[in-house]
Amino acid sequence: MGENRMTRKRKPFSFLAALASIALVLLTGCKPGNEPSHKNTAGDITDQAGRSVSLPKKVTSVVCLWPETTRILYALGAKDMLVGVDNQVGKDPVLQKVWPEIRDVPVIGTMSSVNVEQLVAARPDLVIVSARSRRLADQIAGHGLSVVCFHPRGKWKSFLEEITLTGRCVGRQHEAADLRRFIEEKMAEVQTIVTALPDDRRPRTYVTFAYDPLRTTPLDSVELAGGSNIAEGNRDIWYTVDMEWLLARDPDVIVQHALGRYDLATMGGGWSSLRAIKMNKVYRVYLGFCGVDPAQYVAQVRQLAALFHGPDIPWSRDLAADGRAIFQRVYGRGDVFDALVREMNITLAPAETQQTKE
Amino acid sequence: MGLSIRHLCYTYEEGFSIRDICLDALNGRVLGIIGPNGSGKSTLIQCVVGLLRPQSGLIRIEDRDSASMTRREVAQRIGYVPQNHPPAFPFRVLDIVLMGRTPYLGMLQTPSRCDEALAEERLAELGIRHLADRPYTHISGGERRLALIARALAQQADILVLDEPTAYLDFRNRHRVTQTISDLASQGAAVVMSLHDPAEALECCHDAILLSEGAIAAAGPSCEAVTEENLSRAYGVPITRVDAPRFLVKPDGR
Amino acid sequence: MRRWLMILLLASPLLAFPVSMLSGRVWISPRAVGQMILTPQEASIQPTLQAVLWQVRLPRILLALLVGAALSVSGASLQQVCWNPLVSPYIMGVSAGACFGAALAVVLWGGGYATMQGCAFAFGCIAVAITSALSQIRGDSSPVSLVLAGIIVSACFGALLFMVYLIADPDKVAQVVYWSMGSLHAASWSGVIRSFPGIGLGVVLLYAFRWRLSVLSMGTEAKALGVAYERERILLLAATTLVTAFAVSVAGTVAWVGLLVPHLVRLILGADSRSLIPASITFGAAFVLLADTLARTVYKYDLPVGILTTLIGAPFFLYLLRRSRTAWV
């Protein structure tokens, strides 16, 4: 191990290094040096950071520092494999409800850093980190652990890919294939309707960030739901726009991240002059928390399609039932969708219907 | 009548103190304060002008107890010339002199045209009117000292307190400064100044005080106070007076 | 010559204002602007243009002017009060405290401009209070001890800020980071109304004390010139803190303005606060306004104005220092 080499090179550190080695041995209960032996691999995969990883033959314990994959693991029924998570996932509004015991899983890092001692002590067969934390992945791999990186970078297809890869990593290929099939079917229902729509029926949509209404992103679920996102570029980033730009584009619809608490109609600063706000077409949609959520993403696209195209969409009459069914299938808890709607005041009916009701 | 100090004490947190200082500075006379480095000359000066607040003792300025006076009232009566220190910013020399008018201005007032005329007059009196628009940071040490004296004069005070006004000056500038000081005294000002060189106390002071380790070692008319014996005691080395070759500026030459 | 330069500096916001009024992502012709200002009732102008001009551009311009005036005048005043040409409002720890406050607001209460600004203001003031208290520990409150205390306080709040970054959700962090770089993108009338009283009061106070600021730059010697040194110094420090905290709370850390503008004005007009203070107020306002006009037009995204003021300010400051080394170093 690294410590042994250091002992020879640097005398003053030898005592510390020895202490650290002893601590390691005590903590891990094994001799130093547990590199994955290449004879025992279940095959190579290329992860979403482009790294080639040899998977261990049998994975029974996983440390996951990327909430998106933690949710997939739960949906694949692999939650008991989790021996360590990041500090954010406990705040995930969905996981909090479907799996309150996530609080008891040890937090051993953030999305971009890790407590190495805890990680080594947990002896996971596999560590999963965000592909945006490439350096963290290399650091962990340096400790002789198998690491895979996942991050769909806002691309729908690569999220499906992530489900498949996650299934392979933890030996749940069948569950992953089932989940993927379900999601693809649900999405296909939307696609068959919206692809037929002419361009002028795709509402020009502005997406707001949860904590700052002047930040936006070219979110692909808008396009998938038959809308047209006015944000520029196609990278999965949030960027800041200015109000003049927004007033000049004057979108038909504003999709507000439902985690945000601000009320655009009373913001001042030109918001009230926007057509979408005058027409009451500000829709509160939960856009997710630290990455994509398998249930919520499908529900979100179907919700957007219903809000954009109203009566053309069969499930627009009862969006709550639709969302409930999706959450029931993915997480086994349909009621969680209702709880989210209540908690975040998620919009379930397009503006026209709301007006006729009043 | 001038300035009178009784039993003044000031102690620094670090322990050094000046103790039981008594002195009188009379109108028309120049009082020199001499003593070794660290004997308390600057401390005494700073107590007199109000930069330090003495722990005990009495300072009477024109027969009023200074403790009952505001800073403004003190500044109208005592003009202060600090040891040379260039300010952080390149003020014009005229602006520096104008600052001497501050004791006569309200908190939110700025100097008037009258004040400016007065300041220019003071510069003219000291023969440095041509410096008025030059940055204070760009003029020589002697010119700076003169500008600070002009500022003290702009305070229109009867008492002038100067901290080592001749230190680091060349021949000509030292002459200009000492000449100006004795002129002011002869016009009726009470002058108190600290001096580095005991010989200067004999040369240009009527009275002298010799400080040693924070206390008065000798006081009186300068020829009586500044003696070989007193100096030897205060400086801790045997000192003798010699009539070495010296150069002086001729009385009529400026 | 000096007189004309003074007039030019005093009038600079009037020159920058029309430029900024006519720039932006939405083109509004000078004719249309004139029409909207002179006869706002006439319906011939598109409502969108009306909204852009009245609801977006004008409040943003006013806020830029306020922030610029506040930062420059507090920079100029602080330099005089601390007799130190290298002091700027941020040295006192205002911005470190304010950034921490803003981060805390976003993390604890999910943001909203008003909450963020309120929290930034509160922590900005707390930071300065700690700085002042620390600098008094040795009893003398010399400029060096003030600067040292400011560095200590800034460092502590900086560390706390990083801790918040580490604990918080990265999405929230992104917003605080953007804000802390100094930005006026969230300008609105309510922001103008919220910051005007504080900035206005402080600026008027500092302007009224302009001669005292000259005298205080002499250091403790000012006591012998009849100044109630300690009291006036605290009053003026409080005024600079007030305006800086308000400016930081609406705009984040718009860096270098408080250092660059007073030095430039001093180079042109001299050190006398009677001209330095008013010219810093107006020229600082014009400088930030022009920088923000660039920030909202040069790139396809809205840039934080603090990045531009730094990119313009830092090299120019170096040039100033080299050009006039003997003047103050």
Residues C206-236 pLDDT 10s: 999 999 999 999 888 899 999 988 889 889 9
Tell me if chain C has a CB within 8 Å of the CB of A209. Answer: yes
Q: Output the pLDDT for position A15.
A: 55
Of B13, B51, B87, the CB nearest to C217: B87
State the Cα–Cα distance between residues A149 and A153, nearest whole angstrom.
Answer: 12
Provide, as residue numbers in chain B, all residues whose Cβ is less than 8 Å from the Cβ of C227.
71, 102
Tell if the CB–CB gap between B87 and C211 is shorter than 8 Å: no
SS3 C276: helix
Q: Output the pLDDT for position A354.
A: 44
When divided into structural domains, chain B yields a total of: 1
pLDDT band, residue A21 (cuts 50/70/90): low
State the Cα–Cα distance between residues C262 and C9, nearest whole angstrom.
Answer: 12
Residue C126 in tokens = 């707390």
**Which residues numbered 176-235 in C keep a CB inside 8 Å of some CB on A?**
178, 183, 185-191
Q: Is residue B26 one of the residues assigned to a domain?
A: yes
Q: Output the pLDDT for position B204.
A: 87
**CATH 3.40.50.2000 correct for A198-357:** no
Decide which of A159 and C108 is more confident: A159
State the Cα–Cα distance between residues C263 and C269, nearest whole angstrom.
Answer: 10
Q: Output the pLDDT for position B96.
A: 94
Residue B167 in tokens = 């230190």
pLDDT tens per residue across span A174-183 = 999 999 999 9
Q: How many angstroms separate the CA of residue C227 from the nearest CA in chain B?
A: 6
E strand or H helix that includes residue A84: strand A82-86
Tokens 């004139």 -> residue = C34
**Which residues numbered 36-95 in A keep a CB inside 8 Å of some CB on C?**
87-88, 91
pLDDT at residue C53 greater than cutoff 60: yes
pLDDT band, residue C43 (cuts 50/70/90): low
State the Cα–Cα distance between residues C236 and C216, nearest whole angstrom.
Answer: 10
**Average pLDDT in chain B:** 90
pLDDT band, residue B167 (cuts 50/70/90): confident
State the Cα–Cα distance between residues A39 and C47, nearest whole angstrom.
Answer: 71
pLDDT at residue A165 greater than cutoff 90: yes
Q: Least CA distance to B111: which residue of chain C? A: C211
Q: Nearest-CA neighbor of C25 among C303, C306, C308?
A: C303
SS3 B79: strand
Tell if the CB–CB gap between C185 and A270 is shorter than 8 Å: no
pLDDT band, residue B127 (cuts 50/70/90): confident
pLDDT band, residue B253 (cuts 50/70/90): low
Tell me if chain A has a CB within 8 Å of the CB of C36. Answer: no
Mean pLDDT of A208-223: 87
Bridge-based pairing of strands A253-257 and A282-285 is parallel
Q: Output the pLDDT for position C202.
A: 93
Interface present between A and B (3 or more CB pairs within 8 Å): no
pLDDT band, residue A32 (cuts 50/70/90): very low
Q: What is the DSSP letter of C28?
A: -
Cβ-contact C112, A208 below 8 angstroms: no
ipTM associated with this complex: 0.88
Mean pLDDT of A316-340: 94
**Average pLDDT in chain A:** 84
Residue length of chain C: 329
Calculate what percentage of chain C has a pLDDT beyond 90: 35
Residue B67 in tokens = 């403790």
Residue A181 in tokens = 């099939």
Q: Output the pLDDT for position A3.
A: 40
- Ordered DSSP codes for C148-165: HHHHHHHHHHHHHHHHHH
Q: Output the pLDDT for position C318.
A: 84
pLDDT band, residue C33 (cuts 50/70/90): confident
Mean pLDDT of A232-260: 86
Q: Nearest-CA neighbor of B101 among B90, B93, B89, B109?
A: B109
Q: How far is CA A198 from the centre of its chain?
A: 31
Residue A189 in tokens = 């229902």
pLDDT at residue A37 greater than cutoff 70: no
E strand or H helix that includes residue A205: strand A204-208
State the Cα–Cα distance between residues B143 and B122, nearest whole angstrom.
Answer: 14
Task: Average the pLDDT over each of A82-86, B27-31, B72-76, C102-106 and give the range with the smallest value.
Answer: C102-106
Q: Output the pLDDT for position B218.
A: 92
Tell if the CB–CB gap between C302 and A250 is shorter than 8 Å: no
pLDDT at residue A199 greater than cutoff 70: yes
Q: Output the pLDDT for position A30.
A: 43
Cβ-contact C195, A234 below 8 angstroms: no
pLDDT at residue C329 greater than cutoff 50: no
State the Cα–Cα distance between residues B177 and A130, nearest whole angstrom.
Answer: 77
Q: Output the pLDDT for position A157.
A: 86
- Ordered DSSP codes for A310-330: GGGSGGGGGHHHHHHHHHHHH
Q: Output the pLDDT for position C47.
A: 77
pLDDT band, residue A291 (cuts 50/70/90): confident
Q: Is residue B111 one of the residues assigned to a domain?
A: yes
pLDDT at residue C295 greater than cutoff 80: yes
Q: Output the pLDDT for position A14.
A: 54
Tell if the CB–CB gap between A212 and C189 is shorter than 8 Å: no
Q: Output the pLDDT for position A12.
A: 47
pLDDT band, residue C94 (cuts 50/70/90): confident
Q: Using a CB cutoff of 8 Å and minimum separation of 24, what contacts does B172-176 make?
A: B172/B142, B172/B249, B173/B140, B173/B141, B173/B142, B173/B143, B173/B145, B173/B146, B174/B142, B175/B248, B175/B249, B175/B254, B176/B126, B176/B127, B176/B142, B176/B146, B176/B254
Q: Is residue B171 one of the residues assigned to a domain?
A: yes
pLDDT band, residue C133 (cuts 50/70/90): confident
Mean pLDDT of A37-57: 77
Tell me if chain C has a CB within 8 Å of the CB of A266. Answer: no
Cβ-contact A92, A336 below 8 angstroms: no
E strand or H helix that includes residue C288: helix C273-295
Tell if the CB–CB gap between C52 and A248 is shorter than 8 Å: yes
pLDDT at residue A60 greater than cutoff 80: yes
pLDDT band, residue A18 (cuts 50/70/90): low
Task: Average the pLDDT over each of B96-105, C18-27, C79-88, C215-224 and give the range with the smallest value.
Answer: C79-88
Give the number of beta-carbon pairs within 8 Å between B and C. 101
What are the residues whose beta carbons fall under 8 Å from the beta carbon of C222, sequence distance 6 or more?
Answer: C215, C216, C229
Q: What is the DSSP letter of C302?
A: P
**Average pLDDT in chain C:** 86
Tell if the CB–CB gap between B72 and C226 is shorter than 8 Å: yes
Tokens 């400011």 -> residue = C150
Tell if the CB–CB gap between C211 and B110 is shorter than 8 Å: yes
Chains that touch C (3 or more CB pairs under 8 A): A, B
Tokens 């030059």 -> residue = B134
pLDDT band, residue A8 (cuts 50/70/90): very low
Q: Output the pLDDT for position A35.
A: 44
Residue A7 in tokens = 């002992």
Residue length of chain B: 254
pLDDT at residue A69 greater than cutoff 90: yes
Tell if the CB–CB gap between A270 and C55 is shorter than 8 Å: yes
State the Cα–Cα distance between residues A101 and A105, nearest whole angstrom.
Answer: 7
State the Cα–Cα distance between residues C37 and C44, nearest whole angstrom.
Answer: 13
- Ordered DSSP codes for C56-89: IIHHHHHHHHHHHHHHHHHHHHHHHHTT-TT--G
pLDDT at residue B107 greater than cutoff 70: yes
Tokens 């201005």 -> residue = B105
Q: Output the pLDDT for position A4.
A: 43
CATH of the domain at B185: 3.40.50.300
* Strands, sheet with B159-162, edge to edge from the N-terminal-most edge strand: B78-81, B159-162, B190-194, B30-34, B207-212, B215-221
Decide which of B168 and A333 is more confident: A333
Q: Output the pLDDT for position A132.
A: 86
pLDDT band, residue C277 (cuts 50/70/90): very high
Mean pLDDT of C157-169: 87
Residue type, C292: D
State the Cα–Cα distance between residues C78 and C88, nearest whole angstrom.
Answer: 7
Distance of CA C316 to CAs A136, B154, C309, Å?
A: 39, 39, 10
What are the residues whose beta carbons fall under 8 Å from the beta carbon of A147, sequence distance 6 or more?
Answer: A51, A53, A126, A127, A128, A129, A137, A140, A141
Q: Output the pLDDT for position C30.
A: 87
Mean pLDDT of C283-288: 96
Decide which of C325 and A348 is more confident: A348
pLDDT at residue B193 greater than cutoff 90: yes
Q: Least CA distance to B74: which residue of chain C? A: C226
Tell if the CB–CB gap between C209 and B87 is shorter than 8 Å: no
Q: Nearest-CA neighbor of C59 among C180, C184, C242, C182?
A: C184
Mean pLDDT of C139-155: 81
Axis-axis angle for helices C273-295, C2-21 (nearest 10): 30
Q: Output the pLDDT for position A5.
A: 42
E strand or H helix that includes residue B65: strand B64-65
Q: Output the pLDDT for position C35.
A: 82
User: Which CATH number does the domain A34-171 belong to among 2.120.10.60, 3.40.50.1980, 3.40.50.300, 3.40.605.10?
Assistant: 3.40.50.1980
Q: Nearest-CA neighbor of A216 among C300, B177, B240?
A: C300
Task: Average the pLDDT over each of A41-50, C126-135, C222-231 and give the range with the smallest value.
Answer: A41-50
Provide, as residue numbers in chain B, all residues whose Cβ is less than 8 Å from the Cβ of C270.
90-92, 95, 135
Q: Is residue B251 one of the residues assigned to a domain?
A: no
State the Cα–Cα distance between residues C295 and C64, nearest whole angstrom.
Answer: 11
What are the residues whose beta carbons fall under 8 Å from the beta carbon of A60, sequence distance 6 or more?
Answer: A81, A125
Tell if the CB–CB gap between C225 and B107 is shorter than 8 Å: no
SS3 C250: helix
Provide, as residue numbers in chain A, all residues whose Cβ is less than 8 Å from the Cβ of C188.
267-270
Of C26, C60, C112, the CB nearest to A248: C26
Q: Output the pLDDT for position C299.
A: 83
Cβ-contact B194, B225 below 8 angstroms: no
End-to-end CA, chain B: 32
pLDDT at residue B79 greater than cutoff 50: yes
Tokens 């005036």 -> residue = C69
Domain that includes residue B28, residue range = 3-235
Tell if the CB–CB gap between A240 and C191 is shorter than 8 Å: no
Mean pLDDT of A189-205: 91
Mean pLDDT of A187-206: 91
Residue B192 in tokens = 């108190």
Q: Output the pLDDT for position C328.
A: 44
